[in-house]
Structure 1
Amino acid sequence: MTASSAHRLFAEQALLPTGWSENVAISVDAAGRILAVEAGQSKAPGDEHLSGPIVPAMANLHSHAFQRAMAGLAEVAGTGDDSFWTWREEMYRTVGLVDPDDLEAIAAKLYVEMLKGGFGRVVEFHYLHHQLDGTPYADPAEMSLRILRAAQTTGIGLTHLPVFYAHANFGGAAPSAGQRPFLHDPDRFLALLERLSPACNATGARLGYAIHSLRAATPEEMREILQSSPLTGPIHIHVAEQPREVEDCLAWSGRRPVEWLLDNMPVDERWCAIHATHMTPDETRRLAHSGAVAGLCPATEANLGDGIFPAVDFVAAGGRFGVGTDSHVATSVAEELRLLEYGQRLRDRRRNRLAAPGASVGRSIFDAALAGGAQAAGQAAGQAAGMEEPGIRAGAMADLVVLDGSNPYIAAASGNQILDRWLFALGGDTVRDVMIAGEWKIRNGRHDREEDIDRAFARVLNKLK
């Protein structure tokens, strides 16, 4: 199926804004938008009968695509105090070896894996801009354009966030040699955004931007970018990921990172606070009330030993969250959501932490991450958190995930049991088909460009080993 003609899908079970419904017909127009959703229907001649229950595809709200190629290469123990900061040295080594062709190959492979894991859109937090010595490419947007090409090749939806990065630590500390490929001053960064705007428009990508962290930008630089950029898309920032970051921020400003951010920047629904792991109860409440999304990356946060986000208190305060795969040691919706809930259980030594009494945990966290991810990705009004209940609806793009109805766990389930079994008993392999903007990108667990993408990725891995 392509987006060149209208089409009608028929699913025996589908997750709608009103909840799970049976015998659902979904009409998709030539532009890949859902025209109508009707429950209680009979399959009509010409309908495409889907092979299992369907749910909306989720936005992956935090990705550093190049890091997928180094997954598993930083798992050799050091002196016993290994942390994010020691992992970062392996990341810098990878940065020094990746050229534009490599980045495109890595991103394409990653984006196929994300589609197979149930993600329909990726928010690319992109800070690998230049050559190893910091020299820009002939086109300063070269590396961003390779991300756009990888998204086009695979068909995944893309929200592209070029990252402003200028310093090594709070107070404008000089960057290290390993950070040279990341660096801009405000003028060059604003010029990059201007260069990318027509390219994103031409490919259907959404353009926003990110400030890497409070370590990497001075307050004056942040304000200049916020005031000068004409973009209305999302704004993301790493914040309070590490205890050392909190200590350094206190030494610099007398305030903790989330506290400083909320006191000094216009944080609202456009913003996504990535990680926000280390917060006081007051910071947790204030971030929840700001309308910003907390961008959680449970598998990466566990891999790096970052800590556990205070999700129970944040959700109780009305906070919005979504999930991302960050360094891509995991690439599926199920792994991230499962680990999010399990982290809360391990900390609290209690079960079923992120659902109200009597509610399905799988449905509760899936709905929340679906809405928060859409908001953080800057998707169309009506898909953002707080505007409508999550689910497959008329007017939305046809970004759909079909779960494997031949799997006995799924075949025997109905309603919210489907999500509970997918997220807690099964995993990424449960995704059978994925449609993006009305076109099938994954069929029977395969992408039609998979062999070429795998060959290119294997070349990069052999280069990096």
Structure 2
Amino acid sequence: MQVIHAKQALTKSGWKHDLEVAIGADGRIESVGSFSRTPTHRAAILLPAPVNLHSHSFQRAMAGLTEARGPYPRDSFWSWRLLMYKFLDQLTPDDIEAIAGLVFMEMLEAGYGAVAEFHYLHHDVGGVPYDNLTELSERIVAAAQTAGIGLTLLPVLYQYGGCDLRSLGGGQQRFGNDPERFLRLHADAAAVIARGVSDNVIGIAPHSLRAVDPAGLNTILSQAKSGPIHMHLAEQVAEVEEVLSYHGLRPVEWLLKNYAVDARWCLIHCTQMTESETNALAHTGAVAGLCSITESSLGDGIFNCPTYLDAGGQFGFGSDSNIQIALFEELKTLEYSQRLRDLSRAVLATPERSTGRVLFDAAATGGAQAGGRDNGRIELGAQADLIGLDDDNEWLCNRQGDAALDSLIFGGGGQNCIRDVWSAGRHVVKEGRHFRRDEIVRKYKQTMKRLETAI
């Protein structure tokens, strides 16, 4: 048994001082109470470690390679996407596993306890299926196991290149499946998950209303009776215009009119919504999956968070393209986007909770819901996804409660304060360093050396 003594800890009922948290052999919190046993670990601050609810791990290897002006009058998400397709045609299964291993390690060192991998890279170059249909799904599972991170695997259905049902071309071909083959792939991937660690989860991910037709969406939803459902929604102006042109409604309007969206759903980005759409989505109980750093990088737009929160909406955070894997920066970037739009400060704060507290509570609860994972809280029986932090430093200066949380998020040095991270009780980060860092980085660097001329 692992026993943690925390000077202060953020629990479901608020901040608690001098708290003992015991982790059982099953990776769950076995007890929470006053100090009574000799600790195996100490933490100045103990927090629940959130789920990173949206990741495309392979894109981590592109970080920094798409910042030069391309052959277009104006760079955008769409020009970035063309470069991404060119890049992924270079990737082998070994490359994909090595890159994912680094990504998952970096997530743990950043304070995430688990990840929902939106996995749409299924086939070999040209769209040729591997002899083992789940070859690349198995590589993602293997990378998660190497890193020791909890995994929600989300195999993606990707049928078409747009609402006009045009065929996939170029790099997109590696994503493509018809619904029948997708269901075979999903069933095989579910069997892989079942053979792995007990805290892993499987869901489904219809990619977007551009890439999946209504018949395909109906087919996979009819088979997916449990588990999370994730989908990109209303990310780009051009996407909204395309869906409106072909379906006669904007993406959020169309989805909510035709499907019983509920708490199983996580809709990613949602940066192009009207106020009425924002309210309507909040009322479904679904999670809005926000990826603030990537949305800033791609020029997606700004999520209307105050309206969504006022309507009772749930949201969480993901690192999407993984250009920077930094939990506290992800939260800060969302709040700063609201300030820039509204010419205001502390936009998301309430009289009871500071800005950082609102953001972190959302990350913990929304991430758990989106990941289908029993974490996000320091409570008896919950999965022991935890962050242990040091506060005797120039960033926190022994601050207490919400002030400490605000300093972690807005003070610029939050990640430097992370000393320990547990994922379902697995003690994977110690003294701020992942326990397999050297091995994982070595494999990643070998992969990048081979890929150095890919773009």
Matched residue of 1:428: which SS? helix
- Please state if 1:60 is matched with 2:60: no
- After superposition, where does 1:415-430 map in structure 2 within 5 Å? 415-425=401-411, 426-430=413-417
- Tell me whether 1:76 sits opposite 2:74 in the alignment: no
**Selected match of 1:249 from 230, 243, 248:** 243
Deviates more, 1:454-463 or 1:115-124: 454-463
Alpha-carbon distance between aligned partners in 2 of 1:196 and 1:365, rounded to the nearest angstrom: 33
Q: Secondary structure at the match of 2:117?
A: strand
Give the fraction of aligned pairs with identical amino acids, expressed as a percent. Answer: 47
Is 1:309 matched up with 2:286?
no
Cα displacement (A) at 1:222: 0.5
Q: Which runs of 5+ in 2 are unaligned?
A: none
Contact 1:171–1:218 (CA under 8 A) maintained in structure 2: no
Deviation at 1:347, TM superposition (A): 0.5
**CA distance in 2 between partners of 1:177 and 1:304 (Å):** 21
1:267 and 2:261 are equivalent in the alignment: yes
Among 290, 296, 299, the residue aligned to 2:290: 296
Q: Does the 8 Å CA contact 1:321/1:369 hold for their aligned counterparts? A: yes
Q: Write the deviation string for residues 205-244 of structure 1: whole angstroms up to 9, x where unpaired.
A: 2000100100001101100111133x41000000110000
Aligned residue for 2:21, secondary structure, equals strand
Give the corresponding residue for 2:440.
Answer: 453
| Alpha-carbon displacement from aligned partner over 1:129-152 (angstroms, at most 9, x marks no partner) | 001111111101000000000000
Q: Structure 1 length normalisation: TM-score?
A: 0.94
Is 2:296 the partner of 1:328?
no
The answer to whether the 8 Å contact 1:345/1:353 transfers is yes
Distance 1:398 1:408 in 2: 28
Q: Which amino acid aligns with 1:248?
A: E
Indicate conservation of the 8 Å contact 1:116/1:429, yes or no.
no
Which structure 2 residues correspond to residues 356-367 of structure 1 after superposition, within 5 A? 356-357=350-351, 359-367=353-361
Quote the Cα distance in structure 1 between the aligned partners of 2:418 and 2:330. Answer: 15
1:408 positional shift: 3.4
TM-score, with structure 2 as normaliser: 0.96
- Asked if 1:396 is matched to 2:382, the reply is yes
Which residue of the other structure, out of 192, 202, 212, is the alignment partner of 1:207? 202
Query: How far does residue 358 in structure 1 lie from its aligned partner after superposition?
Result: 5.2
Q: Indicate which of 402, 405, 410 corresponds to 2:396.
A: 410
Q: What do you get for the CA RMSD once the two structures are aligned? A: 1.3
Distance in structure 1 (CA, Å) of the matches to 2:377 and 2:119: 29
Q: Which residue of 2 aligns with 1:435?
A: 422
CA contact (8 A) 1:206 1:378 kept: yes
**Correspondences of 1:143-154 after superposition (within 5 Å):** 143-154=136-147
User: Which stretch shifts more, 406-415 or 172-181?
Assistant: 406-415
How far apart are the structure 2 equivalents of 1:13 and 1:228? 45
372, 376, 395: which one pairs with 1:378?
A: 372
How big is each residue's C-alpha offset from its partner over 1:375-429, in whole Å with a ceiling of 9 and x where there is no partner? Answer: 000113xx5xxxxxx6311101111101123323324201111110000002322
The alpha carbon displacement at 1:266 in A equals: 2.1
Specify the alignment match of 1:387 in structure 2: none
Match of 1:8 among 3, 8, 19: 3
Matched residue SS, 1:434: strand
Q: Does 1:121 align with 2:121?
A: no
Answer yes or no: is 1:192 the counterpart of 2:185: yes
Partner of 1:237: 231
The CA deviation at 1:269 is 0.6
Match of 1:48 in 2: 40
Aligned residues: 448
